[in-house]
Amino acid sequence: MISLLAAAVLSFGGTCTDSLCNPRSLDPFFAKLARQGPGVGGRPVHILQIGDSHTAGDSISGAWRDLLQRRYGAGGRGVLPPGRPYDGYVTHGSTEAMSSGWSIAADFGKAWTSPSPPLGLSAFSATSIQDGATMSISADPGEMFDRFTVCAIAKPGAGSLQLRAGTDTVIFSLGSVTERPQCRTMHLTQPASSADVTTSDGPVTITSWATFRDTGGVALSNLGVVGSQLMHFSRTDDAVLSEELHAYQPDLIVIAFGTNEGFGPRFSAFEYETILRTQIGRIRRLAGNVPILLLGAPDALSRRAEMRSNGLGDVSADCPPLGASPTPSAPAAAPPQGVIAGIMDRLRASIGMTGDDATPAPAAQPPLVVPPPVAAAPTTSPPVVRPGLFPPAALKAVRDVQRRVAGQLNVAFWDWEARMGGRCAANDWVHRTPALMRGDYVHYTTTGGQEIAQRLQADLDRAAAR
């Protein structure tokens, strides 16, 4: 008989084979979502997602936001990195602008330096040392807001920010006897579609800003850094995270790292598990009892030979080809030996040779016939054979760690790869019409992002209904 303790361990930490594991840990989120709807007052349900380029690009999170806001109402655009943190920065639902005079810091990439200014949830910060530097946000009609928040660093000698949203204006002074994070929220007299900040009186550092609408609905914040891994999120500052989490009050935190870990040159399951456990514990400590949803690493493919065994374990085999493989042509059959002999006899006779004798017969010699030159067979380069496609070995190792840790820590886990169709599904997604993934076999098209969002929400809906 299984003891009550063993039963409890199995119920929370046992192996999970469903696409959504530990869904009961999301019950507080489901309960808040069930009370929402268009026109319902109060704070919106806030989903806050941190991750890599899949999150930064917003093709999936943006489609998920649209789906939820159509159903429950729009609660604003949510939390964003300040200004325009990198070239090619694109957001759905709002447009950001930034003047010259700002320097950007990040937890990864060319904007990472050590030591760096304090970083928070967005993993970016914007610093200006000149007066009159500005940044602005313009919301699409469906994302108008009545709450505007800016989070920055207060410290000795810091300047001020003029915050303007709609027709309202306040001064956010950042001078302080100690260095500490501070967030300032404006509750607007009427909904607005634009806001901006302007620097004055000294240096300022902004870590994030946000727009919400307090008429119920849903807000979904996507905070991603292209190319980053979960270990880079550990470079953020506890004090800044705590202040921002208190200001933004998420109802669900989504962790969406794993792809870049799976494409790394060397993956240590032990090291990754240590990082994953540490960061989940850190988020729980700073955010309180907020449900966490861990998105498993999706299927993605490579042709690079070093990716076959980067998991320091099994070697990843090639994906099967799409469709039926063409049958190779059979080689031409060799003519029978008797036929060859006959051809040789006729050839000898045509030049005056008899039987096996290689000496010409004494008869009169026929006119010499010189055969025309035989054209050389055209030379062709051998066809270029591209290496086969395969998922990096480490992707499976990442996923195995994520599933095990989620089960043991009672964190919800969504098996992204399984919901795509399993191993090598990316090959099919790239070649569909319309394509669901881009030709890099890693990132998603707009249509593919919508498909992933729909499948994720369908699994959440089934869990909520149970």
Tokens 């919800």 correspond to 412
Q: Report how far residue 313's alpha carbon sits from residue 400's, in angstroms, rounded to the nearest whole number.
A: 13
| 104 and 178 housed in the same domain | yes
**pLDDT for position 379:** 58
| 16 and 139 housed in the same domain | no
| 114 and 183 housed in the same domain | yes
Q: Report how far residue 456's alpha carbon sits from residue 446's, in angstroms, rounded to the nearest whole number.
A: 16
Sign of the dihedral through C-alpha 394, 395, 396, 400: positive
**Which of residues 197, 213, 229 is at a domain's end?**
213
pTM of the entire predicted model: 0.84
**Which of residues 194, 213, 232 is at a domain's end?**
213
**pLDDT for position 131:** 96
User: pLDDT digit of tens for each residue in the chain (466 aa)?
Assistant: 334 333 333 344 444 658 999 999 999 999 999 998 666 778 999 999 999 999 999 999 999 999 999 999 999 999 999 999 999 998 999 999 999 999 999 999 999 998 888 999 999 999 999 999 999 999 999 999 999 999 999 999 999 999 999 999 999 999 999 999 999 999 999 999 999 999 999 999 999 999 999 999 999 999 999 999 999 999 999 999 999 999 999 999 999 999 999 999 999 999 999 999 999 999 999 999 999 999 999 999 999 999 999 998 889 999 999 853 333 333 333 344 443 344 344 434 443 433 333 333 444 444 444 455 555 555 566 666 678 999 999 999 999 999 999 999 999 999 999 999 999 999 999 999 999 999 999 999 999 999 999 999 999 999 999 8
| Length of the chain counted residue by residue | 466
**pLDDT for position 313:** 84
| 109 and 240 housed in the same domain | no
Is residue 433, in this structure, part of any structural domain at all?
A: yes
| 295 and 433 housed in the same domain | yes
Radius of gyration, CA atoms only, the chain: 32
**pLDDT for position 3:** 41
Is residue 189, in this structure, part of any structural domain at all?
A: yes
**Which of residues 158, 191, 213 is at a domain's end?**
213
Longest dimension (CA), the chain: 123
| 304 and 409 housed in the same domain | yes
Residue 283's domain is classified under what CATH number?
3.40.50.1110
Is residue 453, in this structure, part of any structural domain at all?
A: yes
φ/ψ of 161, rounded to 5, equals -120, 130
| 243 and 199 housed in the same domain | no
Structural domain for 196, as ranges? 79-213
Element (H, E) at 191: strand 180-192
Total number of domains in the chain:
2
Is residue 379, in this structure, part of any structural domain at all?
A: no
**pLDDT for position 382:** 64
Is residue 362, in this structure, part of any structural domain at all?
A: no
| 168 and 218 housed in the same domain | no
Residue 142's domain is classified under what CATH number?
2.60.120.200
Is residue 2, in this structure, part of any structural domain at all?
A: no
| 141 and 153 housed in the same domain | yes
End-to-end CA distance of the chain: 28
Is residue 401, in this structure, part of any structural domain at all?
A: yes
| 196 and 160 housed in the same domain | yes
Instruction: Characterize the bridge pairing of strands 252-256 and 45-51.
Output: parallel
**pLDDT for position 37:** 67
φ/ψ of 168, rounded to 5, equals -100, 145
Contact at 8 Å (CB) between 399 and 294?
A: no
Of 402, 149, 130, 118, the C-alpha closest to 267 is 402
| 144 and 252 housed in the same domain | no
Strand ranges, E, within 257-388: 292-295
Helices (H), 186-233: 230-233
Is residue 354, in this structure, part of any structural domain at all?
A: no
| 300 and 405 housed in the same domain | yes
